[in-house]
Structure 1
Amino acid sequence: MPHPRGTASSRRVGVLLHPTALPESPVCGSFGAAARGWLHSLARQGIKVWQVLPLAPPDGTGSPYSSPSSFAINPWLLDAQDLSDEGFIAPDDVLALPQGTEANGERAEGLDFALADQRANALARSLRLRWSEQSADRHQAFQRWCVDQARWLRDHSAFMVLRRESAGLPWWDWAHELAVHRDTALEQWRCSHQDELLEQDLLQWHLDRQWRQLRALASDLGVEILGDLPFYVARDSADVWSNRSLFSIAGDGRLRQQSGVPPDYFSATGQLWGTPVYTWGRHRQTGFRWWRDRLRRQWDLADRLRLDHFRALAAYWSVPGEDDTAINGRWQRSPGGELLAFLRRDIGGYLPIVAEDLGVITPDVERLRDRFHLPGMKVLQFAFDGNADNPYLPSNIKGNGWVVYTGTHDNPTSLGWWERLDQSSKDQFTATLERSVEAPGWQLLELGLSTSAALVVAPLQDLLHLNDSARFNTPGTVGGNWMWRLPAFDAALEGALEGYGLRAEVWSRR
């Protein structure tokens, strides 16, 4: 991806759409034909960036930001039809998979998490049962990949099988020797669970293969993949279970210190996230090996990464583990500069990171971002509060070191935003546009394209002028999130992408 602070010729537009939301596959979007069609649609209209959310397995609420693994890929995304076409499973295996039809024969519009899990488990079993039929070349390719990814794969596969075997209990409630990751106990356990471990390994190999094929197609079409990386990792994850010394957590799973943000105008008690903070001293002692492995893996999956909660690389809010609000937390310094310097040396130059620097950002965070020449984020839905100094106002977005968004996956759709906006903010938005508001998403996009930003991104829902029934996530709520799917590839979608592409062409030539 071009340097974010480059010339006007490198200016690009992108669309935010998570692969789970792709249409034309049972239960959940996948890495199959619909994903290839999506890439061709983007390329056809001159849209150069596809932004996705974390590709990691989700938690029980469907969130990819609280994953049981920082390295694995979500099994829901594996495309069964492609596997059948390649001969890894039989056509009858595909027909036998859960299909997600309702009693009247109509497929549900949203994503059914339980059904997606059932389908992934059935697919894993089919892959394992058909594995002995595969060629020696395929077996060798699989073994090479397993060796190459062993640093995370062995623990991930063991964690997933142990979790299923324990009926979903967190790792700290497993048998003690397994909970504390004792090598001798784990090796004995592995010997009696080889089929289940093979299923998990095969799932991840095929997911990796299918995604790399998509990345190769995207590269051929001139479309870049912008990925997403959460800052913290889930307490109940393979990462924490197998690397407890790197996290502020006791052997019995108790949090010593947990993450969050302090009280502010929006919350008198702050936000408590319940994930362990990092024991940065230990990371320093290991040369940040876990972080560097994590980023190396993610850069294998995407051209650039949006690093969520970037400000925690400068300082993080650390809350006592037993607290149930964030009030008693304290700011602690992070060795973010040291980590980023290691990463820059590893990659041999410019760091392909977008810093998520939204909210109240202190000068030390800005200095860290600018020291490594990382673009920050500007979200236009945050702009119209009546404050002339608002940093998200288009007129205040100076230079091209920014990625401008109409909204993000955590925001309302732009139509939903407009429908709930107070009258004063509506008046300011209308005055900024200098005409009446008819299609808020497109008009926010127009304002984004009026800036000198290197990249402007719109969620697909904004291009399709959808209301909040298509909202992807509402922070602070538990149900109804991460479920939206695009109904189909149709003329309306192609028309929206074409309109975006035409505007982008004009903007990129300025």
Structure 2
Amino acid sequence: MISNHSSLFNKDCGLLMHPSSLPNRFGIGDFGPSATQWLELLASSGQSLWQILPLNPAGYGDSPYQGLSAFAANPVYLSPEALHAIDLISDYELRVLEIEPNDQVDFTSVYECKAEMVVWAAQRFFEWDTAHPLREKFNRFVHDEGEWLEDFAIYSALKQHHGMRAWTEWPKEFRDRDAVALRHFSVEYAKDINRVRFEQFFLAEQWATVRETAQRFNIRIVGDLPIFVAHDSADVWCQPNLFRLNSDGSPTVVAGVPPDYFSETGQLWGNPLYAWEVHRADGFAWWRKRLRKILDWVDVVRIDHFRGFDACWEIPGDAETAIDGHWIDAPGREVFEKFVEDFGLPLPVIAEDLGVITPEVVALRDDFHLPGIRIEQFAFGSDEMKSTFLPETYGPDCVAYTGTHDNDTVVGWFNSSAGGSTTRSQQEVDAERAETLAYFGTDGSEIHQDFINRLYQSEAGATIVPVQDLLGLGSEARMNTPGVASGSWRWRLTRFDALVTAFEALAVLTKHCQRGSMAGKGAAVNA
């Protein structure tokens, strides 16, 4: 057990909203002025945390948890306004990129518009004098990030060239990374490859401005690191030896979870499992680089499916559901010992410790003093562990949520019926609703506020509320439904002024509960 540590959180609080959900006139939130405005709103209400989802390029189903790279960022977050401010796109082009405001992202339209924007902007950028400060900074970026950037740029260009098909479906010479074939391709498609470098450079530049703004407001950004990477990713294509694959590149076994609250057949994620013996041989270098990279972008990282570091659900590569899987051990303790060597204590890591949690998983979390998470929605119903999710049980060693991106909104959950996205019967749904009303002692007309009030009054080290719950939105605003292949990740806010009243109330609650930037300022009272 590791000792001599300090706590990662001290009555912090904040909101969960992915950059894609930020309002602007370009169809999807980005790293531009809307992110700055969002941080100003957070600061005005005393919040100290902004939690986001993975920023990696989204793959299958537009899911940020099926990223095309564990190291790159998603080019849809490039801000047209920021590029316009440095004359890389024109006034006319800025108007052309506008998309009618909607509370659902149309990813097809967004991808097309952003791709066109990059063509315009990159052409102008590479026409600038090579002595221009940004051109020189770009060259340094390409050099410093080359270990992952070059492979990702070639992978991205190859994927475009092959109609976005998975790398296992490319011609054999590209699938197997034949050096001569890749060299010829890199020469022929140099402009496409350079555009990918351009995207990643300006994503880093724009996000650096966001980080500086957050630091000025004393707001920490909480990122998200999926434990597994997508099979169709630059990571697996470049280093297949790190994963358990067949000779044709297909996965021998894949990841998922057994049947649970969200699905009667479990969840078949399809991510290849790690060849842990290969990782162990070089001191888990890939994992250490991965954590270091995300901590270049965020202040704290939530590790999704943390229990996979102790053991993961192994499913045959050709299985159609997750039912036929079994648990296999993973060397999480060795990995986290390396993390401590690199980053010290307290590790800036939150352990997403939901699902099938064994004493071994708890020991791994606690021995490295990682805060776990608690979901207030899970405090009601028939689950035998529900008492551990009651707000009065939260302590300084946990991060508490009304719900996460995987949950329905509080209002949607409270008003739900049997079927749909739940495995509960109508009798169970009705019993949960009655139990919830009895617990809060209200009529449920402001159930989202009941949840938020009780959450902030708890002793949790940090509390985080999805912005949909702050606004009291229903199931139409749910971010993700686990196990459903399409239609998720699309919700977005259409205008900031919809938040004004909610943020005023949140500021009062935050001060009353002495959380966030209000911590220690005056006596706490019941909100």
Q: What does residue range 102-501 of structure 1 map to in structure 2 within 5 Å?
A: 107-135=101-129, 136=131, 137-263=133-259, 267=263, 269-385=265-381, 390-394=386-390, 397-420=393-416, 422-490=429-497, 492-501=498-507
Is contact 1:83–1:89 with CA below 8 Å preserved after alignment?
yes
Q: Is the 8 A contact 2:399 2:461 kept in 1?
A: yes
Deviation at 1:60, TM superposition (A): 4.0
1:321-379: CA deviation from partner (whole Å, max 9, x where unpaired): 12223333222111111111111111133211110011221000000000111000100
Residues 2-57 of structure 1, C-alpha deviations (whole Å, 9 max, x = no match) = x997499x211110001001112311111111111110111111111111011111
Q: SS at the partner of 1:354?
A: strand
Contact 1:27 1:116 in 2 (8 A): yes
Structure 1: gaps of 5 or more residues = 102-106
Question: What is the percentage of aligned positions where both structures have the same residue?
Answer: 36
Question: Any conservation in 1 of the 2:396–2:461 contact (CA below 8 Å)?
Answer: yes
**1:389·1:396 contact (CA, 8 Å) conserved in 2?**
no
Partner of 2:90: 90
CA distance in 1, matches of 2:49, 2:185: 44
Partners of 1:377 and 1:405 within 8 A in 2: yes
Equivalent position of 2:99 in the other structure:
100
Q: Which runs of 5+ in 2 are unaligned?
A: 418-428, 515-519
Equivalent position of 1:16 in the other structure? 16
Please report the RMSD computed on the Cα atoms of aligned residues, expressed in angstroms. Answer: 2.0
- For residues 236 and 384 of structure 2, what CA distance do their matches in structure 1 show? 45
Residues 12 and 49 in structure 1, CA contact (< 8 A), matched pair in contact too: yes
The DSSP-based 3-state class of the residue aligned with 2:350 is strand
Q: Which position in structure 2 is the counterpart of 1:49? A: 49
Q: Does the CA-based 8 Å contact 1:4-1:374 persist in structure 2?
A: no
Q: Deviations over 1:155-189 (max 9, x none)?
A: 11111110110011111111211111223321221
Q: Distance between the aligned counterparts of 2:438 and 2:457, measured in 1?
A: 15
**2:442 aligned partner, one-letter code:** R
* Aligned mates of 1:426, 1:266 — CA distance in 2: 18
User: Which range moves more in the overlay, 214-223 or 255-264?
Assistant: 255-264
Whether contact under 8 Å (2:407, 2:478) holds in the other structure is yes
- Counterpart-to-counterpart distance in 2, 1:297 and 1:251: 30
2:87 and 2:190 mapped to 1: Cα distance? 23
Closer/same/farther in 2, CA of residues 407 and 100 from structure 1, 3 Å limit: same
Shift of 1:397: 2.0
The one-letter code matched in structure 2 to 1:237 is: S
* Compared CA separation, residues 114 and 292, structure 1 to 2 (3 A): same
3-state secondary structure, aligned to 1:31: coil
SS at match of 2:459: coil
Q: Deviations over 1:434-473 (max 9, x none)?
A: 3332211111112212321011111001111111111111
Q: Is the 1:394–1:450 Cα contact (8 Å) retained in structure 2?
A: no
In structure 2, distance between residues paired with 1:494 and 1:100: 24
Q: Rate the CA distance shift 1:115–1:314 in 2: closer, same or farther, 3 A.
A: same
The 3-state SS of whatever aligns with 2:476 is helix
Q: Which amino acid aligns with 2:448?
A: G
Secondary structure class of the residue paired with 2:254: strand
Identify the range of structure 1 (239-248 vs 251-260) with the bigger mean alpha-carbon deviation.
251-260
- State the Cα distance separating 1:121 from its structure 2 match: 1.1
- For 1:273-320, what per-residue CA distance to the aligned partner results, in whole angstroms no more than 9, with x for missing partners? 111000000001121111111111100111001100000000111122
Match of 1:446, as an amino acid? N
User: Which residue of structure 2 aligns with residue 104 of structure 1?
Assistant: none
The number of aligned residues is 500
- Do the aligned residues in 2 keep the contact of 1:306 with 1:353 (CA within 8 Å)? yes
- 1:81 is matched with 81
Q: Which piece of structure 1 moves more, 497-506 or 451-460?
A: 497-506
Answer with 33-42 or 475-484: which moved more. Answer: 475-484
TM-score by length of 1: 0.94
- Partner of 1:61, secondary structure, is helix
Q: How far apart in 1 are the matches of 2:268 and 2:25?
A: 37
Partner Cα separation in structure 2 for residue 144 and residue 347 of structure 1:
25
Residue 124 of structure 1 aligns to a residue whose secondary structure is: helix
Check conservation: 1:304, 1:354, Cα contact below 8 A: yes
The structural deviation recorded for 1:502 is: 1.7
Q: Which amino acid aligns with 1:131?
A: F
Question: Aligned-pair distance for 1:395?
Answer: 5.2
Structure 2 CA distance, aligned partners of 1:439 and 1:82? 39
| More off after superposition, 418-427 vs 399-408 | 418-427
Corresponding residue SS for 1:272: strand
- Asked if 2 retains the 8 angstrom alpha-carbon contact of 1:170 and 1:236, the reply is yes
Match for 2:257: what amino acid?
A: V
Distance change (3 Å), C-alpha of 1:321 and 1:60: closer
1:505 is aligned with what amino acid?
Answer: K
User: How has the CA–CA distance of structure 1 residues 7 and 304 changed in structure 2, closer, same or farther, with 3 Å as cutoff?
Assistant: closer
Give 1:203's aligned amino acid: E
Indicate the residue corresponding to 2:425 in structure 1.
Answer: none
CA contact (8 A) 1:127 1:199 kept: no
- Once the two structures are superposed, residues 218-268 of structure 1 have per-residue CA deviations (whole angstroms, 9 ceiling, x without a partner) of 001111100111111111110100010001112422211111123457655
2:508 pairs with 1:502: yes
Contact 2:102 2:494 in 1 (8 A): no
State the alpha-carbon separation in 1 of the partners of residues 385 and 490 from structure 2: 36
